[in-house]
Amino acid sequence: MFRVGIGSDTHRLTRGRQLVLGGVRVESELGAEGHSDADALAHAITDAILGALCEGDLGVHFPDRDPRWKDADSLQLLARVVWLAGERGFHVVNVDATVMLEQPKLRPYITEMREKLSQTLGADVKCVSVKAKTGEGLDAIGEGLAISAQAVVLLESA
Mean pLDDT of the 70-79 span? 92
Model pLDDT for residues 36-55, shown as the tens digit of each residue: 999 999 999 999 999 999 99
Contact 24, 113 (CB under 8 A): yes
What are 32's strand-pairing partners?
13
Q: Report angle CA 125, 126, 131 to the nearest 5 degrees.
A: 85
Q: What is the pLDDT of residue 65?
A: 84
pLDDT of residue 70: 84
Question: Tell me: the pLDDT tens digits for 16-40?
Answer: 999 999 999 999 999 999 989 999 9
| Distance in angstroms (rounded) separating the CA atoms of residues 145 and 124 | 34
Q: What is the pLDDT of residue 44?
A: 98
Residue extents of the structural domains in the chain:
2-157
CATH class of 2-157: alpha beta
pLDDT at 103: 95
Confidence at residue 69, expressed as pLDDT on a 0 to 100 scale: 78
